Amino acid sequence: MTQPVAVPFWLLLLILAFAAITLASHFLFPSVRWFFRKRAEKALARLNKRLDRPIEFFKLARRQDMIVRLSYDLRVLEAVADHAAETGVPGSVAFQEARRYAREIVPGFSATLYFGVAIRFARWLSRLAYRVRIGKVDAALAHIDPKATVIFVMNHRSNMDYVLITWLVANRSAISYAVGEWARIWPLSALIRSMGAYFIRRGSRNTLYRRVLARYVQMATAQGTTQAIFPEGGLSLDGRVGAAKMGLLSYIVSAYEPGGRDVVFVPVGLAYDRVLEDRILTDAALAGSRRFRGKPLATIKFILRNISRKFRGRFKGFGTTAAGFGPPVSLRRFLCDAPDAPTEELGAHLMAEIIKVVPVLPVPLVAAALTQNPADRAALLEGMIALQARLNAHGAVLKLSPKGVQATLDEGLEPLLHRRLIDENLAITAGSATLIAFYAASVLQRLE
């Protein structure tokens, strides 16, 4: 028992490594986790005191725990059984498929990353690229039941939408986004997931996948998670606010319980003087396909060119961006007023409310006036004044220059001239008509 035992040196190192791992996992790691968990809980308690809508425990659950919870949810197990019966695959195989979908969908929210990094980055990037004019978000949220689940429903103009809305509601809540497959690339996917976003496969016809996704959305809504969704299902190709697709809305409405937590939809209208992806979007519209043909080298060149202009003091930004907030729509009240109304009616109502609050900015206003083929700047100014009067009569949200209509004309016209979309005689240049129509569309739609 006390005699020495000779072992190879490599085996001794292996034994010591296993011993160290065992010691750490059983004694050190639990203590370290407890220490950091306590610090995190205290920091989160301080954070929740300054948020209008505190972060929900559902969002703070460990990602692996949420995957297990979703995988073993009764409705998911029913979906697994139905899928196995329909396809003839073994139940264990169907369950593993559902578990894979759950792992793909469930986010891994990090309060530290969201409030410590993401919001600061969103604020910096928004102000770097645009002149931000914010709507009355406080008025939109002031009278909402604190226990209600808030869901921001927005038009989808640009991938900057995620950045802008994250900053605008930073002091009120942490938002969980539904993001498309474009973001499922490493390391972007890990960053987006840690910010609380969940991935969806747009257009997927896999019934099992749709039922797993539906159950996750329903669980998050039932637990009060603040969410942001784009009912259009994709970026606008023509500059207009499109019709709502019923996917996420139908999941929320189908699981709503009248006696439970209310769901309140907040319409948000987003607008930009310059949509960074505008040429890609209009090209896709002309091609009749949503397969965007982005050019990585051209994108990198565009970024580097503007960084160089920023360092030389020649970068003036991409104009104005703004958000308008409409009156909240209570699902409880909507269903009380129209108990037999289909989800399509709710979707149409929400999109109509979004159209009302999409802000009118200088470039879209100038673009709308240019569609009337003005002979000179004086005629263009008269056209803008006439459009502004009609917009005011319709109750539109105007985010124009505070210095007056002449300053608005200068703000809206200069970018179009700089990009050579029009010439000095105000004539639309060859190949630019679709872009002018793209920017004018939101103004003209508001006047319909």
User: Parallel, antiparallel, or unpaired for β 176-179 and 131-134?
Assistant: unpaired
What is the Rg, in whole angstroms, of the alpha carbon atoms belonging to the chain?
Answer: 26
Most confident of 23-27, 84-88, 351-355: 351-355
The pLDDT, as a whole number, for residue 394 is 93
Q: Is 198 helix (H, G, I), strand (E, B) or coil?
A: strand
Contact 366, 413 (CB under 8 A): yes
Q: Lowest mean pLDDT of 123-132, 148-157, 402-411, name the range.
A: 123-132
The pLDDT, as a whole number, for residue 36 is 46
Q: How many CA atoms lie within 13 A of 271 on its CB side?
A: 36
Contact 154, 160 (CB under 8 A): no
- 237-269: burial string, b at 16+ Cβ within 10 Å, e else: bebbbbebbbbbbbbbbebbeeeebbbbbbbbb
The pLDDT, as a whole number, for residue 416 is 93
pLDDT over 80 at 184, yes or no: no
The pLDDT, as a whole number, for residue 132 is 87
Residue by residue, DSSP assigns 221-282 as HHTT--EEE-TTSS--SSSS--PPPSHHHHHHHHT--TTS--EEEEEEEEEESS-TTHHHHH
Average pLDDT, the chain: 82
pTM of the predicted structure, to 2 decimals: 0.82
Q: What's the token pair of residue 437?
A: 């129509």
Question: Which residues are CB-neighbours of 102 under 8 A, at least 6 positions away?
Answer: 67, 70, 71, 76, 212, 216
What pLDDT, in 10s, does the model give residues 265-316? 999 999 999 998 888 889 888 888 776 655 666 666 766 776 677 667 767 7
**Higher per-residue pLDDT: 139 or 148:** 148
Q: What's the token pair of residue 119?
A: 């919001």
Question: What domains are defined for the chain?
Answer: 104-276+318-355 (3.40.1130.10), 362-446 (no CATH)
Q: Is 366 helix (H, G, I), strand (E, B) or coil?
A: helix
Measured in degrees and rounded to the nearest 5, phi and psi for residue 154 equal -135, 155
Average pLDDT over residues 164-193: 68
Q: Lowest mean pLDDT of 23-32, 103-112, 146-155, name the range.
A: 23-32
What pLDDT, in 10s, does the model give residues 2-17? 677 676 777 777 777 7
